Chains A and B, each alone.
Chain A
């Protein structure tokens, strides 16, 4: 709204004039009497309300909200009883001997007097009775034939053309492990190979996927599971080293190794065996036999190092002279050891199979020092006590009978099995099983007269000396193309199982028929009779 100011000349400063000036508009409005032609007038303000726009105000409402009350309650809890318990398996304690107990003499005599006549009568009736003739009871499912339960293999190893050189069952009988390597001629010291284990009791067993695989930088020639630890396994390599793995730790399985020291074998290790330590019979040490003529005993120290504790060396000049042998080639003084077997009756007695084809009866307690040229940290001894009549070629396997203290078998490249008695140098029996090499022979752990042999013609032959001493009772064809079977082992816990590994890289687990797993009544006596045919 504009107030038009008086455009006239300024009034002289006088209170009236100033007042009129100050209230210019209003005074003018009041005095409309003075009209003139150019009079300024002030009119009132004319306002036009908007018809389309409302007063914009902020509309406000007040509301409030709040979470409901949180309910709290207090309670206290505390265990007020606390028990600590530890569980550990203990090494089996040897059974102590009980003292003879006191008895009442006269009362005992009276008792015996009373029953003697009746007992003698019953005893006589018994051996004369025919009541039970031909009466046989079967407690287990009868298996009439031999069947192949599992065919196991490790495709990467098979792809490389590796052979299964050794199989071993663990102490519980549920895991079978095999060693991959090469058994033909060649330098396999840097051949990458494997040790694989399958847990046969596990559900969902995949035959092509072992439960544990260990990669090894050199070809593995032999394998042996620990006698009480279900996951420890020792292996001997082509390079001469001996390694111990723990198969339950796949990320870092290597427990101990010999390393390549002055003490290590210089030739491939063909057999490893676990032996109880002389003073602590619940701890074990590893024995290794190699073609450099040495049989060495190793013990695992804390730092992962296998330390040499004892050893033997076979030297030609120190062999016993009870049998005529072929003269060894000039310059060679070492006798290569290819197989070891310990007697189940005398823990210090063992049999060595050699490259020369003659088994040697040896003792851990031998005292004569060996004439070796190479120095060694532990003095080596000459172990041989008796030399047996040789095969026509190197021996690949020996096995001591678990039922008779004097009998053992040896198998060699001449295709023959010899049955020896420890008491004489000539074999008791010589059986030709194959026209090719024989790679392994093992006595059955339950039948005193049964043994199995692995042949170069691709079959596993089971011999029952009770049935026939000339030909095998059962010949199991393992490989289709006659490639050799290199190793076999009976399962000592589940005695109907036999594992065999071949040159195709497969391990087959065979279930034997009942005739091979159940002892007949007089077998031990028949075995004694066989052993007694020692020529005088």
Chain B
């Protein structure tokens, strides 16, 4: 009954996310596109961060333009080889890449 409370530490949370089924990459990026945390090497992380950043801002502005009362809550890009999931926020973006195919 006495479960230890889930640790709200940054590292612990990222580790929990990484251990989900078939997750390949976890990345946290700030609103300027600068990577904060990543499970990949630096050059690849920077490349991903730059590419994702523009895309996320475009999606966010699209949603707001269609309905200014609306907001972007989640973004998913499905490709032949994997799925990219993005949870956006005022200050940070969390990017998770998963391989959902069997």
Contact = CB atoms under 8 A, between A and B. Distances in A.
A202 B80 CA distance: 35
B92 A108 contact: yes
A108 B36 contact: yes
22 contacts: A97-B43, A103-B37, A104-B91, A105-B10, A108-B37, A109-B8, A111-B89, A111-B92, A112-B8, A112-B94, A118-B87, A119-B85, A119-B94, A122-B76, A123-B17, A123-B20, A123-B21, A124-B20, A127-B21, A129-B100, A137-B80, A521-B80
Contacts of B37: 103, 108
A279 interface: no
A103 B23 contact: no
A526 B92 CA distance: 37
Given A108-B28, A115-B89, 10 more contacts: A108-B37, A109-B9, A111-B91, A112-B94, A115-B94, A118-B74, A119-B96, A120-B16, A137-B80, A519-B80
B80 A119 contact: no
B87 A115 contact: yes
B36 to A, nearest CB: 5
A104 B85 CA distance: 23
Contacts of B43: 95, 97
B36 A101 contact: yes
Given A98-B46, A108-B36, A124-B21, A116 B98 contact: no
B100 A107 contact: no
A199 to B, nearest CB: 33
A107 B91 CA distance: 9
A132 interface: yes
Given A98-B46, A120-B20, A124-B21, A113 B91 contact: no
Contacts of A111: 89, 91-92, 94
A53 interface: no
B10 A127 contact: no
Given A95-B43, A115-B87, A122-B85, A109 B13 contact: yes
Contacts of B101: 521-522
A122 B92 contact: no
Contacts of A113: 8, 13
A323 interface: no
Contact of A120 (B8, B17, B81): B17
A123 B13 contact: no
Assign chain A's interface to a size class.
20 to 34
Nearest to A525: B99
A248 interface: no
Interface residues of B, number: 36
B16 A116 contact: yes
B74 A122 contact: yes
Q: Which 9 A-B pairs have the closest CB atoms?
A: A115-B87, A112-B13, A126-B100, A103-B36, A123-B20, A97-B42, A127-B100, A111-B92, A95-B43
Interface in A419-436: none
B22 A116 contact: no
A82 interface: no
A251 B43 CA distance: 45
A112 B100 contact: no
A116 B28 CA distance: 12
Nearest to A113: B8
A440 B98 CA distance: 39
A105 B21 CA distance: 27
Interface string B70-91: 0000101010110101010101
A116 B13 contact: yes
Contacts of B51: none
Contacts of B36: 101, 103, 108
Contacts of B35: 98, 101
A525 to B, nearest CB: 10
A330 interface: no
Interface string B1-33: 000000011100110110011110000101000
A95 to B, nearest CB: 5
B63 interface: no
A522 B74 CA distance: 27
B34 interface: yes
A519 B13 CA distance: 34
A327 interface: no
A203 interface: no
Interface string A311-344: 0000000000000000000000000000000000
A124 B17 CA distance: 11
A453 B13 CA distance: 51
Contacts of B8: 109, 112-113
B42 A98 contact: yes
A123 B85 contact: yes
B78 to A, nearest CB: 6
A178 to B, nearest CB: 36
A93 to B, nearest CB: 13
Given A120-B20, A123-B21, A109 B10 contact: yes
